[in-house]
Structure 1
Amino acid sequence: MKPDTVRTRADLKQIVDEWRRSRLTVAMVPTMGALHAGHLALVRAASEAADRVVVTLFVNPKQFGPAEDFGSYPRTEDSDRALLAELGVDVLFAPSAAEMYPDSFATSVSVGGPAEGLETAFRPHFFSGVATVVAKLLIAGMPDRAFFGEKDYQQLLVVRRMAADLGLPTEIVGCPTVREPDGLALSSRNAYLDARERAAAPALHRGMAEAAERIRSGEPPEPAIADALAAIRGAGFVVDYLEIRNADTLAPVADWRKDPLRMLAAARLGRTRLIDNIPVPNPA
């Protein structure tokens, strides 16, 4: 029964080489597992775009800091595989840490551009870890397209920049954030929220959406962002950042009336760190 599960890059390469000989197109969806509806939306998009789909499952130690949740991050391979079987995924690539990072491993990918600021100010190790593992996954599977969620918007732009800069022959495709009915962006870490925190969590997206609407109506960003910060903090969050950046580059905004705009946030609710982002329409 699909998906076939492979553990080594050599086995993945052998399968993809066979597909290539049959002139089949290949899509990849990199994940850390604990799959939810957001991941499954990526898989569906990949299935529509290619003849064969590889989903990767690897909890990447290089993107976790010493005080972060690598040890407790949910690992649900059996249930993940069952969900992927329902969607007709062809291969689940689930390597070990030793397969991805053998004892002799001594290389990392250094990233700039869209990696500067925002997450990097709080998790300086993160994007190097992401870029390194994604580069290895793309080289192992050489997909025509790889699918990432816009929920991790800075990550999406970093991976897109990395693939272009290294000349990797894979199109990086971003897919819209999937949300709960109350606006909370789906995330594997939402499982950490207790009942009280889960009730408060939608305040993050709500505050952002209200600020974006005020900016669309012509109000300068500063007071709109200030009020959003107050509302989000009032709901119990400790805010790491809430900023508007150029949506194409994540550089600081030069002209908020003309630049493409994206609002990005990270905030902690109890022990859970949530991130979100939304497009901000320019004033009419």
Structure 2
Amino acid sequence: MEVLKTLEDLQNIRKNIKGSVGFVPTMGALHNGHISLIKKAREENDIVIVSIFVNPTQFLPGEDLDAYPRKDEADKKICSMCKVDYIFMPEISTMYTKEEVLVKAPNNSYVLEGKTRPGHFDGVLQVVLKLFNLVQPTNAYFGKKDAQQLSLIQQMVRNFFLPINIIPCEIVREEDGLAMSSRNVYLSAQQRSDAVLISKSLYMAGNLISKGERNSQVVKNKIYDVMSPLDVEYVAVVDRNFNEIETIEPKNTIILVVARFGNTRLLDNFWL
């Protein structure tokens, strides 16, 4: 495994790569969710590249950029164990200049996550497009936990005619059901215990739907009931284009929830 720091290093390596390239972009602090993406990339490609870059443009003022967990040495060991071929770990000055051509996220980025974090997805798409141009992957792997982000990246690939396959990957959970996230380390013991109510509410919703319930408001109310001890930011029932829907449509519905634990936001979802 080789660690690449500069654009020149990555570009020199990339132009000599033959065969398929699997790419997993991350912000580091790797956990089993990331590992599942890397393993899938390893199974399906000749070469695997992982990027580790805490992207400043997707953080809003007052968010946790400075406090975001950084575990570079541990991340390198994880990548080595997963048989990654190359890690790209650029500096901010490598990825951004003073004068930037900006990427503007579409209107559907200003609902749900984008409603409370305006401009967040502009920064996400900006850095992902840069990374795609540098790595030129055959396949790129993203978790379904960040459902809106996944959808917008898929849209960007279509809009810019990028020859990249976006591979959605299932959510990886702790034994008690909590979706894995780098931000879970911020939780106190009590918050960690309470956070299980997020996934419990979604399991309950899935069970309700499996018994025939199709009214979105009924399902949302039940989720709010389960999550009542928490500071719930939103519960939404949407179609695959992130339009809120009144009636649940099998194979075209996502239920999304976000709860706050102090300054920490945790999101989760259930795809139908």
- Shared fold by TM > 0.5? yes
Given candidates 55, 79, 85, the residue that maps to 1:84 is 79
- Say if 1:253 and 1:259, in contact at 8 Å, map to a contact too: no
1:41-60 matches, within 5 Å, as 41-60=36-55
Measure how far apart 1:166 and its partner are: 0.8
Relative to 1, partners in 2 of residues 1:259 and 1:151: Cα closer, same or farther, differing over 3 Å? closer
Measure how far apart 1:43 and its partner are: 0.3
Given candidates 259, 265, 270, the residue that maps to 1:273 is 265
Given candidates 245, 248, 254, the residue that maps to 1:256 is 248
SS at match of 1:227: helix
Which runs of 5 or more residues in structure 2 are unaligned? none
Measure how far apart 1:254 and its partner are: 6.2
Q: Which residue of 2 aligns with 1:202?
A: 196
Question: What is the alpha-carbon distance in structure 2 between the residues aligned to residue 34 and residue 256 of structure 1?
Answer: 36
Measure how far apart 1:78 and its partner are: 0.8
Question: What is the alpha-carbon distance in structure 1 between the residues aligned to residue 219 and residue 137 of structure 2?
Answer: 42
Q: Which residue of 2 aligns with 1:109?
A: 103
Measure how far apart 1:113 and its partner are: 5.6
Question: What is the alpha-carbon distance in structure 2 between the residues aligned to residue 53 and residue 218 of structure 1?
Answer: 43
Q: Which residue of 1 aligns with 2:144?
A: 150
Relative to 1, partners in 2 of residues 1:58 and 1:230: Cα closer, same or farther, differing over 3 Å? same
Question: What is the alpha-carbon distance in structure 2 between the residues aligned to residue 277 and residue 257 of structure 1?
Answer: 15
Question: What is the alpha-carbon distance in structure 1 between the residues aligned to residue 266 and residue 76 of structure 2?
Answer: 26
Given candidates 4, 7, 10, the residue that maps to 2:5 is 7
Q: Which residue of 2 aligns with 1:31?
A: 26
Relative to 1, partners in 2 of residues 1:257 and 1:73: Cα closer, same or farther, differing over 3 Å? closer
Question: What is the alpha-carbon distance in structure 2 between the residues aligned to residue 258 and residue 74 of structure 1?
Answer: 37
TM-score normalised over the length of structure 2:
0.95
Question: What is the alpha-carbon distance in structure 2 between the residues aligned to residue 10 and residue 252 of structure 1?
Answer: 45
Measure how far apart 1:114 and its partner are: 4.6
SS at match of 1:201: helix
Given candidates 241, 244, 254, the residue that maps to 2:237 is 244
Which runs of 5 or more residues in structure 1 are unaligned? none
Q: Which residue of 2 aligns with 1:182?
A: 176
SS at match of 2:255: strand
Measure how far apart 1:103 and its partner are: 2.3
Counterpart residue identity of residue 29, structure 1: V
SS at match of 1:206: helix
Relative to 1, partners in 2 of residues 1:174 and 1:259: Cα closer, same or farther, differing over 3 Å? closer
Question: What is the alpha-carbon distance in structure 1 between the residues aligned to residue 47 and residue 267 of structure 2?
Answer: 31
Measure how far apart 1:11 and its partner are: 1.5
Asked if 1:119 is matched to 2:117, the reply is: no
Question: What is the alpha-carbon distance in structure 1 between the residues aligned to residue 221 and residue 91 of structure 2?
Answer: 45
- Say if 1:114 and 1:154, in contact at 8 Å, map to a contact too: no
Counterpart residue identity of residue 120, structure 2: F
Relative to 1, partners in 2 of residues 1:258 and 1:55: Cα closer, same or farther, differing over 3 Å? closer
SS at match of 1:250: coil
1:205-216 matches, within 5 Å, as 205-216=199-210
Q: Which residue of 2 aligns with 1:224?
A: 219
Question: What is the alpha-carbon distance in structure 1 between the residues aligned to residue 250 and residue 52 of structure 2?
Answer: 40
- Say if 1:180 and 1:186, in contact at 8 Å, map to a contact too: yes
How many residues in Structure 1 have an aligned counterpart in Structure 2? 271
Relative to 1, partners in 2 of residues 1:258 and 1:149: Cα closer, same or farther, differing over 3 Å? closer
Q: Which residue of 2 aligns with 1:16?
A: 14
- Say if 2:110 and 2:118, in contact at 8 Å, map to a contact too: no
SS at match of 2:38: helix
